A and B are shown apart, each in its own frame.
Chain A
Amino acid sequence: MTGSLKRILLGEQGLVVIFAIAFAVVSLTVPNFLTERNMLGLLQSVVTIGIVACTMMFCLASRDFDLSVGSIVAFSGMVAVMASNATGSIPLGLLIAVGFGTFVGFVNGVVIAKLKINALITTLATMQIVRGLALISSDGRAVGIKDASFYQLALSKFLGVPTPIWVMVALFVIFGFVLNRTVFGRNTLAIGGNPEASRLAGVNVDWMRIWIFTLQGLVCAIAGILLASRITSGQPNAATGLELSVISACVLGGVSLAGGRAAITGVIVGVLILGIAENVMNLLNIQAFYQYVVRGLILLLAVLLDNLRSRSLGRR
């Protein structure tokens, strides 16, 4: 009995099983948890993390790292607002914002792949540069939205579910497919497994890394636009510390920081675990300060579990 339990918990789908159990327990014990309203609120609250986690998964799977995501999210949100205000056209504003995020990601990628600068250092630098630009361009204040239809990005619903959640789900599906079913995804995992062997096997490693960071920038811009719409302004201080939450969610979901191992189901579960923990603590009126402690503990537990799992799989 204990043997089979152990096998389930430490098996491939162990995290999903644990998540399902935790979800069931929380549903039964926490009042107002399993209501449509709360569920949608919960999903809304993880939209930014969830969207950015899609491409962070690729970054980590290829043995890279991106700390600049929070800054890109904040600044591209502001760019969307400012450009919409200036041009009077929301679609044009969004396009400029997406272009901007993509450009920052591309710069990250080129510096890392071509100039061979460590990803941690490069994105630490761009994180600060982009945050600085956000503060400079707005003089440190929030930028208000002139055209009220900008709010509709976050407020509009389809089949009763807000648009941002649909966007997140769509990105989960797309990037899950890309990871497992495309040459791009497999090559990402191969680079993470052994970059030099991948290069010698004909994988264009530099090109792949530039693409991964460019996609990361693009996806951050999408997250930034939705966030700006939800908080009804472009805020230079938005999404601070986002990079750590996103990396936590990925690690929770079994993405290996050593590269070569990632799965979209894991990332989704990781994102939801973070969301549920926060949601439940809010419902139980636990002071926000405790939430940091709980999040840290969850992360440690997840990593310990992962460690046990790889040990039980065993090295021959």
Chain B
Amino acid sequence: MTHFLEFSNISKGYPGVQALSDISFGIGKGRVHGLMGENGAGKSTLIKILSGDTRADTGEIRIEGAAQNFHSTRDAFAARVTVVHQELQLVPGLTVAENLRLGHFPAKAGVISFRELVEDVGSKLRDIGIDVDPRTKVAALSIGERQMIEIAKAVMQDARVIALDEPTSSLSSRESEILFRLIDRLRGQGKVILYISHRLDEIFRLCDGCTVLRDGRLAAHHATMEGVTRDQIVSEMVGREISDIWGWRGRAIGEVRLKVAGLSGTRLPKPVSFEARSGEILGFFGLVGAGRSELMRLVYGADSRAAGSVSIDGRPVAASDPRQSIRAGLVLCPEDRKFDGIVQGRSVSDNISISARRHFSPFGILNLGKEAALADGFIQSLRIRTPSRKQDIVNLSGGNQQKVILARWLAEENVKVLIVDEPTRGIDVGAKAEIYDLLYSLAEKGLAIVVVSSELPEVMGISDRVAVMCGGGIAATFDRPEFNERAILAAALPDRSAAEPIQKVS
């Protein structure tokens, strides 16, 4: 039986790594198919081959029975295969309509007919079911809306195969639901959708079948999801049974370490106060736009404060300056690893030692031996998967990059308060469990840990206490015994009576 899209004996090696070995599976027309695997399992490589970004060493891709030979992304485009990447590829300064017709504007003698452009794009967006004004600048859209536009672009280019790489990683649950409805419609139109996600509930909600990769090999292929269980997929991904991925364990909670009082800034106008205790993991939950990351950036001093104070063990942290915070023992693993976390082009070792190296550099001269020992020590103890400490950090998977950022702060020996913003975004199940475990052991050592997450199960799974943010303030806090999914979510939802008047009335 031939499938609409078929991967046949695909192998791909990079120097030192066999990224894919002998992958074969097929997907039928009008099916949404999940592609799962830990980071580094080979999903990205497979997608790159599908998009023509790289070429397989052996094997081929067949679409409607015809072998495809992609030399470039252009070839894949011509074969009507589109990949929507995690990093969106829209031009922020142009409008939605311009982005969607970029390269083929309706024009007479080189002059663009904007009316035709807007009408044409508008009607197509309505057909697809996306409610966005085509005249809006992309820069003014939320990430969720941009994701929709990116998918609309694929549809308007008449793609037969659409691959979505972690599409919901930065979407709120409401935005995700709109996306799922869009995917359901595309399924009805006979498209083949390859859906890559770490979120099992989404795979079960959306997919007709799924394929699991592990260490570059095909671990499992399910043509249908019938009779497939979550535990089964998780164990196929990691090769072992994980019953409880949170693994929360109780510990003694001590004195107040972090005290934030009346803190406000430009992006967080209302003053916010909270405390975190020694040994405590304080979770921050809230919907997108609730002000969680803004608050954490203010606490850390990444953005300048308008008012309020931050103190650690009773001692105030002086200015709005990350360096002062680090010296006081307050550190932040930022939400956006790529833009605020890793230093691209530099080695794993350099990324680990960037802050702590001042401790072993008399007169500013580095002790290379110590730097290497520090990096190797963390690579081993945190199980950072990298060929060597000299590897450029961009070549590491998301989970391993996160571990490097954590190592950067663990290398600072006097850390008292660790803020982790979205600790496991875009990270696979196995690495997640490792990161949680690390957070517990740090809390056991007496650190106060603040974890920001937009995943409610995660916040509930690992925190001792949860603060719920809504509209730039803390709406409620819950102790672990009182954790209740509905109550926390209800506290996070904006007050309807306050929000409604802002919506258009006409």
Please report A residues at the B interface, Cβ cutoff 8 Å: 181-184, 186-187, 189-190, 192-194, 196-204, 256, 259-261, 314-316
Contacts and interface: CB of A to CB of B under 8 A. Distances in A.
A195 to B, nearest CB: 9
Nearest to A314: B14
A197 B326 contact: no
Contacts of A181: 365-366, 368
Contacts of A315: 394
Given A186-B350, A190-B354, A260 B302 contact: no
A197 B343 contact: yes
B59 interface: no
Nearest to A316: B395
Given A190-B350, A190-B354, A201-B408, A182 B364 contact: yes
A184 B368 CA distance: 14
B334 A200 contact: yes
B323 interface: yes
Contacts of B72: none
Interface string B55-97: 0000000000000000000000000000000000000000000
B106 interface: no
14 contacts: A182-B366, A183-B366, A186-B350, A186-B366, A187-B354, A189-B346, A190-B343, A194-B339, A197-B334, A198-B354, A199-B302, A201-B355, A256-B345, A316-B45
A10 to B, nearest CB: 13
A284 B296 CA distance: 66
A243 B354 CA distance: 31
Given A186-B350, A186-B357, A316-B395, 17 more contacts: A182-B366, A183-B364, A183-B366, A186-B366, A189-B350, A190-B346, A190-B354, A193-B343, A194-B342, A194-B343, A200-B332, A201-B322, A201-B354, A201-B355, A201-B408, A202-B326, A203-B354
A314 B48 CA distance: 13
B355 A202 contact: yes
A160 B213 CA distance: 67
Given A181-B368, A190-B346, A196 B358 contact: no
Most B CB within 10 A of own CB, among A183, A184, A315: A183
Given A190-B354, A202-B323, A197 B339 contact: yes
Interface in B126-178: none
A260 B345 contact: yes
B344 interface: yes
A192 B45 CA distance: 28
B341 interface: yes
A197 B342 contact: yes
B22 to A, nearest CB: 20
A25 B354 CA distance: 43
Contact of B14 (A197, A202, A203, A316): A316
Given A182-B366, A183-B361, A189-B346, A197 B355 contact: no
A312 to B, nearest CB: 10
A186 B322 contact: no
Most chain-B Cβ atoms within 10 A of its Cβ — which of A186, A201, A316? A201
B347 to A, nearest CB: 10
B485 interface: no
Nearest to A190: B343
B302 A198 contact: no
Interface of B: 14, 19, 44-45, 300, 302, 322-323, 326, 332, 334, 339-346, 350, 354-355, 357-358, 361, 364-366, 368, 394-395, 408
Contacts of A314: 14
A6 to B, nearest CB: 13
Contacts of A186: 350, 354, 357, 366
A25 to B, nearest CB: 31
B322 A199 contact: yes
Nearest to B326: A202
A198 B350 CA distance: 11
A256 B344 CA distance: 13
Contacts of B361: 182-183
Listed from nearest, the 3 A-B pairs whose CB atoms lie closest are A260-B345, A193-B343, A202-B355
A196 B14 CA distance: 31
B88 to A, nearest CB: 18
A261 B345 contact: yes
A196 B341 CA distance: 8
A197 B401 CA distance: 13
Contacts of A203: 354-355
A178 to B, nearest CB: 9
Contact of B365 (A182, A201, A260): A182
Contacts of B300: 200
Contacts of B342: 194, 197
B362 to A, nearest CB: 10
A261 B346 CA distance: 8
A202 B368 CA distance: 20
A200 B333 CA distance: 9
Nearest to A194: B343
Between B300, B342, B366, B368, the greatest number of chain A beta carbons within 10 A of the residue's beta carbon is seen for: B366
B450 to A, nearest CB: 16
A37 B45 CA distance: 57
A199 B361 CA distance: 19
Nearest to B333: A200
Contacts of A190: 343, 346, 350, 354
Contacts of B339: 194, 196-197
Contacts of B14: 314, 316
Contact of A200 (B340, B350, B357): B340
B299 to A, nearest CB: 13
B379 to A, nearest CB: 18
Residue of A184, A190, A192 ringed by the most chain B CB atoms within 10 A: A190
A186 B353 CA distance: 10
A256 B45 CA distance: 27
B302 A200 contact: yes
A171 to B, nearest CB: 18
Contact of A198 (B44, B326, B343, B365): B343
B330 to A, nearest CB: 11
A224 to B, nearest CB: 27
Contacts of B19: 316
Contacts of B354: 186-187, 190, 198, 201-203
A207 to B, nearest CB: 10
A154 to B, nearest CB: 32
Contacts of B395: 316
A186 B14 CA distance: 29
A204 B323 contact: yes
A223 to B, nearest CB: 24
> Which of B332, B345, B358, B394 has the most CB atoms of chain A within a 10 A radius of its CB?
B345
A60 B220 CA distance: 49
B322 A202 contact: yes
